[in-house]
Amino acid sequence: MLGPLQRAVVLVLALGLAALLGSAPGAAGAHTNRTGTNEQYLGAPGYLIVTARGAVATFGGAGFAGDLAATPAAPVLGVATTADRRGYWLLSADGAVHAFGDATHRAAARSMPGAVAIAGDPVTGGYWTVDAPGDLRAVGAPVFARPVLAPGGSPVVGVASAAGGLGVWMVERSGAVIATGTVPTVAAPQVSAAAGPVVAITATPDGAGYWLATATGAVLCAGDATTYGSLHDPRSPVIAFATTPDGRGYLLVSADGSAGAFGDARFAGDAASPLHPPLYPGALQVPPTEAVGAVFQARGPQPARRGPLRVTFVGDSLSVQVARDTQRYAAVHHLDVRIDVGGILGCGMVGSLALATYSNPRPTAPTLPACGQWLQQYRQAIATSHPNVVVLLSGYWESQHHSYDGSTVAVATSAPFRSYLARQLGSALRLARSAGARVVLLDAPYFGDGTPRANVDAWDTLVDSAGSSRVTRLDLRRLLDPDGRVAPVVDGVRVRAGDRVHLTAAGVHRVIDPWLVPQLLAAARTDRHAIGVPTP
C-alpha cells in the first residue's frame, strides 16, 4: 500500500506532470526486478525479443539490424533468424515478411495472408510460413507436400526446420506434431492438460529432434533434444522459445517481455517494464510490451545505423517532460529524428531509499516500489529504442532528504550518500555505453519548492565529474537559471510550471529545444559518422 507521503508527494508531482503531458493509462501488468547490465554478458550469446508493435529489443550484445517500430504496419506475430544469425525476418499479421540484416525479402510470393509462424531455411537462406489450418508456403526454400492433418485438430501455432532444411515440423496448439519432407522419425512428447497450450516448436541444431514450449513455461523434448528446465509460475503466459546456437540452452519469453534463461543461455535483460501495478500507479503505467517472439543472434551494433537519428531520454519526470515536448518540437520542425521516452514519472536514480521532500517536509517514507527498479526500466527502454544518443536528466529526487545507512541525509552534507549516488549514476552510464550510445548528461536546474540550491549543486557536481569518452555534459541550469536562482521567466518566456519544479511546454519549445536539439543531432551524427554510416 502507498503511504501518505507517497500519495502526497510522488503522486501529486507525477500525476500533475501526467496531466500536463496528457498521458493516458495502458493495460495492467507486473514486473519483478532482473539483475545485471548488458556489459556483464557480452561473452555469452545475445538474443532479440520482438514485440507486437514491431520493436526489436536486443540483449547481451545481439546485433540490431532494424525494426518496424516507426513504420505503420499490421501487428507482428513472430521472428525467424538467418543461418549465420546476422539477420532476421519479422512476420506481420497481414502475411507480409520484413527482412533485416542479411535476410532477404524474396520479392516473389513473400506474403501469406493468415500466416501465424515463420522459420528460416538454414541451407537456402529462404523461409517457410504456415497458417493455422497447416498450409505451408516456401519462399526461397524447398517446397513440400501439404501434410495430412487429423480431422478436428487444433490450430497450428509453430513451425521449425528439420534435418538441415530437408523437411519441417509443424505443431498444433494441442501438442500434435506434423512432419513433412525428409525428417527423422521422432516420437512426439505427450503434452498434459496441466502444461497448457503449446506455443512454439524449435529444432535442435542437427535437426534430429525438437523442443515444445507451452504457455505455462513447460519445456518438452523429442529426439535428441535435452531439457534444461522449465519456467515455473511465469508472470504472464509464455509466448516464445529460442535456443542458443549450440542447442545447450534456451530462453523462454512471456507476453509481458520478461524472460528466463536455462542451460548455457545467459540472462542479459528483458523487455518487461516495472511501470505497471502493483509496482506503479495504474493511472501512470506505460502500454504493455506484448512480446511475440525471440531468437538468439550474433553480436553486432546496438544503435540504429540507418533511418532517423534516435535519441532516448532517461531520468525522472523532468526527463519525461522534456522528451515528450521535444517529440512535438521535432514533428513541428520536420526533423529526421526519433525521440523516445525512457524515464519514470516520480522516480530518480535513488532507488528504493525512503525519502522526504522539501515541499512536503515529513519523516522519510518508502517511495513507489517501481523506483527500486529504475535501472530495469532504463535497460528496457534503451534495448528497445537503439539510440544513437542517450540523454540523462535527473536531480530532483536526488536532491531531497533520504534515509541512508540509518540516518536522514542530503547530498550536499553526506559524503557516503554522495558515494552511493555516484555508484547509481555510474550504473546508468555503463548501461548506456554498453549499448554503444553516446551519452549526454544534463545538469539539473534549481527547483523553487524549497529544495536547497546546495543540494542541486552537489548533484550537478557528481554529474559533471561522471563519465569519460562518449559522454557530453550540458548545463541546463545555466540556461534556465541564468542568475543562479530559480527564474520563472527566461527571455520573455514563462519556463516554470505552477509547482516550480516542472517546466512549461513553451519553456521547452522556445528556450530548451532550440539550444538542446542541435547539440543532440550533432552528437548522433558524430556517432554514425565515426563508423562510416551516412546520416541525413
What CATH fold (topology level) applies to the domain 303-530? Answer: Rossmann fold (3.40.50)
Query: Residue 349: which residues within 8 A CB-CB, separation 6 or more?
Result: 315, 374, 394, 397, 398, 421, 424, 425, 428
- Please tell me whether residue 310 adopts helix, strand or coil conformation: strand
Sign for the pseudo-dihedral over CA of 138, 141, 145, 150: negative
Given strand 97-101, what is the order of strands in its sheet? 76-81, 87-92, 97-101
pLDDT-derived band at 185 (thresholds 50, 70, 90) equals: confident
Superfamily of domain 45-297: YVTN repeat-like/Quinoprotein amine dehydrogenase (2.130.10.10)
| pLDDT in the model for residue 40 | 38
What is the phi/psi pair of residue 45, to 5°? Answer: -60, 135
- Please tell me whether residue 296 adopts helix, strand or coil conformation: strand
Pairing of strands 360-365, 407-409: unpaired
| pLDDT in the model for residue 531 | 53
- Please tell me whether residue 529 adopts helix, strand or coil conformation: helix
Q: Which residue has the cell 530532483?
A: 396
The DSSP annotation for 444-483 comes to PPP-TTS--HHHHHHHHHHHHH--BTBEEEEEHHHHH-TT
Domain residue spans in the chain?
Answer: 45-297, 303-530
Q: Is the pLDDT of residue 49 over 50?
A: yes
pLDDT-derived band at 6 (thresholds 50, 70, 90) equals: very low
Tens digit of pLDDT for each residue in 151-168? 667 999 999 999 888 899
Burial of 456 (0-12, 13-18, 19+ CB in 10 A): buried
Q: All 3 cell numbers of residue 14? A: 507525477
Given strand 167-172, what is the order of strands in its sheet? 156-162, 167-172, 177-181
Q: Say how far apart CA 254 and CA 240 lie, in whole Å.
A: 7
Percent of residues, the chain, with pLDDT higher than 70: 88
| pLDDT in the model for residue 18 | 62
Pairing of strands 249-254, 259-263: antiparallel
* Amino acid at site 479: L
In the structure, how many helices (H) and strands (E) does the chain have?
Answer: 9, 29
Q: Say how far apart CA 232 and CA 220 lie, in whole Å.
A: 14
The DSSP annotation for 428-441 comes to HHHHHHHTT-EEEE
Q: Say how far apart CA 251 and CA 133 lie, in whole Å.
A: 27
| pLDDT in the model for residue 306 | 87
pLDDT-derived band at 203 (thresholds 50, 70, 90) equals: very high
CA-closest candidate to residue 209, choices 238, 189, 180: 189
Q: Is the pLDDT of residue 458 over 80?
A: yes
* Region 201-220 average pLDDT: 95
Pairing of strands 360-365, 355-357: antiparallel
Q: Say how far apart CA 161 and CA 167 lie, in whole Å.
A: 6
| pLDDT in the model for residue 15 | 53
Tens digit of pLDDT for each residue in 7-27? 445 554 555 566 556 543 333
- Residue 257's alpha-carbon distances to 112, 133, 148, 285, in angstroms, are 27, 28, 35, 15
Where is pLDDT greater, at 446 or 70? 446
Given strand 219-223, what is the order of strands in its sheet? 198-203, 209-214, 219-223
Peptide bond into 45 cis (omega under 30): no
H/E/C letters for each residue in 35-92?
A: CCCHHHHCCCCEEEEEECCCCEEEECCECCCCCCCCCCCCCEEEEEECCCCCEEEEEE
| pLDDT in the model for residue 172 | 95
Q: Is the pLDDT of residue 467 over 70?
A: no
Q: Is the pLDDT of residue 129 over 50?
A: yes
Tens digit of pLDDT for each residue in 53-111? 999 999 999 999 999 988 877 999 999 999 999 999 999 999 999 999 999 876 544 56
Task: Give the pTM.
Answer: 0.89
Q: Is the pLDDT of residue 337 over 50?
A: yes
Q: Say how far apart CA 454 and CA 452 lie, in whole Å.
A: 5
Q: Is the pLDDT of residue 533 over 90?
A: no
Q: Say how far apart CA 14 and CA 317 lie, in whole Å.
A: 7
Q: Which residue has the cell 493468415?
A: 114
Pairing of strands 355-357, 401-404: antiparallel
Query: What's the chain's average pLDDT?
Result: 88
| pLDDT in the model for residue 104 | 81
* Region 329-347 average pLDDT: 95
- Please tell me whether residue 21 adopts helix, strand or coil conformation: helix
Alpha helix (H) ranges present in 276-361?
317-332
Furthest C-alpha separation in the chain: 80
Where is pLDDT greater, at 527 or 285? 285
Q: Is the pLDDT of residue 252 over 50?
A: yes
Reported residue count of the chain is: 536
Tens digit of pLDDT for each residue in 353-382? 999 999 888 888 999 999 999 999 999 999
pLDDT-derived band at 39 (thresholds 50, 70, 90) equals: very low
- Gyration radius (Cα) of the chain, Å: 25
CA-closest candidate to residue 20, choices 320, 225, 232: 320
| pLDDT in the model for residue 27 | 30
Q: Say how far apart CA 488 and CA 496 lie, in whole Å.
A: 5
Q: Is the pLDDT of residue 227 over 70?
A: yes
Q: Which residue has the cell 520493436?
A: 55
38, 268 contact by CB (below 8 A):
yes
- Please tell me whether residue 327 adopts helix, strand or coil conformation: helix
14, 20 contact by CB (below 8 A):
no
Characterise 477 by phi-psi region: left (phi > 0), alpha (psi -120 to 50), beta (else). alpha
